[in-house]
Amino acid sequence: MKIQILFGLFLSFAGAPAMAGLDSVDSSSMNTKVSPCDDFYEYACGRWIEKTDLPSDKPSWVRGFDEVTLRNQKLLKEIFEDYAKGKFDPDVPYAKQMGNYYAACMDEQSIRKNARAQFAKQIEPIQKLESVDKLAPLVADLHLKGVDALFAFGPSQDMKNSELMIGDADQGGMGLPAKEYYLKDTPEMKKLRDAYVEVNTTGLKIAGYKEEDAKKAAQAILAFETKLAKASLNPDERRDPEKMYHRLERKGLIKSTPKFDWAVYLKGLGEENLTKINVDVPKFYTDLNKTLKDVSLADMKAYLIARTFLTYAPTLDDEAVNARFKYYQTVLGMKELPPRWKRCVDSTGGAMSMAVGRAFVEKTFGAEGKKITTEMMHSVERAMNVLLEGLPWMDKKTRQFAIKKLAAAKNSMGYPDKWRSYEGLEFTRDSYVQNSMSAGVFESRYQLGKIGKPVDRDEWDMPPYLVNAENMPNMNQMRFPAGILQKPNFDVHQTMAANYGAIGLVMGHELTHGYDDEGRKFDEHGNMKDWWDKKTAKEFEKRSQCLVNQYNDYIVEGDVHLNGKLTLGENIADQGGAKLAYSAWKMTEKNPVPANKHLTPDQEFFLGFAQMWCAKSTPEFRKYLARTNPHSLPKYRVVGVLSDSEEFAKAFSCKPGDKMVRKDRCEVW
């Protein structure tokens, strides 16, 4: 997402002046036959794309993310193998549990011999269901085990009282990626639906159904889920927090879905006294009530078995694993199943994410690294303050509130200050199925236990080994795991121009999220609040619409375009992040020295950004991302931002009329 890279990473202050001998950006990845003013993505990444093979077990490969993730996986593999052999690190709690879980996952012989019988035992309660009216305790049990059935339920911050955790009922229970996969009548979508029917048919056969009965039931499952999909919101609609906040409470939820016994369900979760509940999509629950009235007992049993199968297929034998993979292969387009060790590393991480994160940090990221990256983040925050002070379209009152929110933000680097407990969670070496379910129940109980309690603002939910970063508007916080803070995203041995262009831009990106189309609706405490002057808000929306229109025009594959509304927040953050990182770098380094005599420091900055996003992917995956993901595809994260940037055009002497200089530039920040 190694050891050596991380240890060598944080040896000098991030803002120190460039010294002789530093590396620049990766010139071997560049296609200098292409003008940077014509297609900067090809200029920065062309040779990398040409010489890089897409791994057969991946639908996508991104230089700044997947190369790092693979290194992290290899390190975790070494750690888990040692733990499985009883070689424990005395500074890492729960090493035995991690070793047992990994060993059970890797024991293919035992899985082939025992897993089906263990799975059969888990679905017995579904097979014994007597009536749709008695679904509630069964659904509660499935939800505790991590099975996505009928709907989603869990803890959430109250968006208007960010200090309190409440219950949250959301849409869910569907196996296809998004609403349009059920409803759009095209050959491609029909193919994907056929693949979904096929995997459910296999799952039902493994559960004991005869071939024809399984096929018929799988079609009924698709029809049932289509009804759920029709009542659901699209991904772009779900980006508006105001559309997702409906405090119907326990009484309102019962009123919307009287066919479902909420009292029994909540008791099954251990939340029998819960009254404070937000319902994200009320129509989903009123329509669910109608759907439950119409569905037959046989179809409901088949649906619940299929949902359980898809959740736990990775823990079963080769037929189950391959059937599930074939379905995702159709959706995403990768050629081969990842090797078992990768799947077991990821599964162990999923079972004990923060315990695994602690083991990772002990091997990699130290206190010095945390100090240095925090200093770098502070420089980006200072750049944001300067930007807000001089923003011409923002009124004084809104500006003051924005600066107040910036001052109140809390940002964490590398890993949490305190680690969560996994006391009571035990794994055996003879049942991967049972271990996975035990992990699911433990995590569900832990998360549900937060309901009704004050929000813990110091707790991390993003594992430190992850190659990612996050902004939480309802916390006014950002987090940057140790996993992402390494080469090529950051390296002390490359110029600070390149470092700020890469990880500095990620920092600016996450900071800007606090003021994007979603984040701007939350105050300095994380409460959903309208703190914008109407005239300023109108100007923000006008500028944002420019980006919606710009990204709507980008063609992903065939007739599939980016969804400018779905990706708006990320596009605003990319654009703002680039501006903030550039300003922070300029304030930090007064006289930068280039490491490559053919490049200026400004050019190194923009290349550092672009080369983080060098990527290859399957056509299927590109279309999947365009339909479901709030991030634009890597190419358009680069050309979209830089074609709007005056600093970029100046750095590469691009002129009006060049493809990388938009005639009508969009600028939010």
CA distance 480 to 518: 20
The answer to whether the CB of 83 falls within 8 A of the CB of 102 is: yes
3-class secondary structure, 135 = coil
Residue 255 buriedness (CB in 10 A; 0-12 / 13-18 / 19+): middle
The answer to whether the CB of 7 falls within 8 A of the CB of 75 is: no
Residue 317 tokens read as 């034998």
Residue 95 tokens read as 């090493």
> Residue holding tokens 């699911």?
440
CA distance 223 to 216: 11
Strands (E), 102-160: 152-158
Angle (CA) 371-374-378 rounded to 5° is 140
Q: Is 319 among the catalytic positions? A: no
Helix, strand and coil content of the chain, in percent to the nearest 5, comes to 55, 5, 35
Nearest to 290 by CA among 316, 264, 318, 259: 259
The answer to whether the CB of 359 falls within 8 A of the CB of 89 is: yes
In sequence order, what are the beta bridge partners of 153?
169
Nearest to 577 by CA among 553, 548, 612, 527: 612
Q: Is 510 among the catalytic positions? A: yes
Query: Phi, psi (5° rounding) for residue 560?
Result: -90, 120
CA distance 425 to 198: 35
- Cα distances (Å, whole numbers) of residue 38 to 375, 464, 596: 36, 38, 22
Catalytic residue among 42, 66, 510, 524: 510
Query: Phi, psi (5° rounding) for residue 162?
Result: -70, 0
- Cα distances (Å, whole numbers) of residue 165 to 154, 245, 419, 524: 10, 14, 20, 18
- From the CB of residue 46, how many other CB atoms can be counted at a distance below 10 Å? 18
The answer to whether the CB of 543 falls within 8 A of the CB of 666 is: yes
Catalytic residue among 574, 604, 620, 644: 574
Residue 365 buriedness (CB in 10 A; 0-12 / 13-18 / 19+): buried
**What per-residue string of b and e applies to 291-306 under the rule 16 or more CB within 10 Å gives b?**
bbeebeeebbbbbbbb
The residues annotated as belonging to the active site are 510, 574
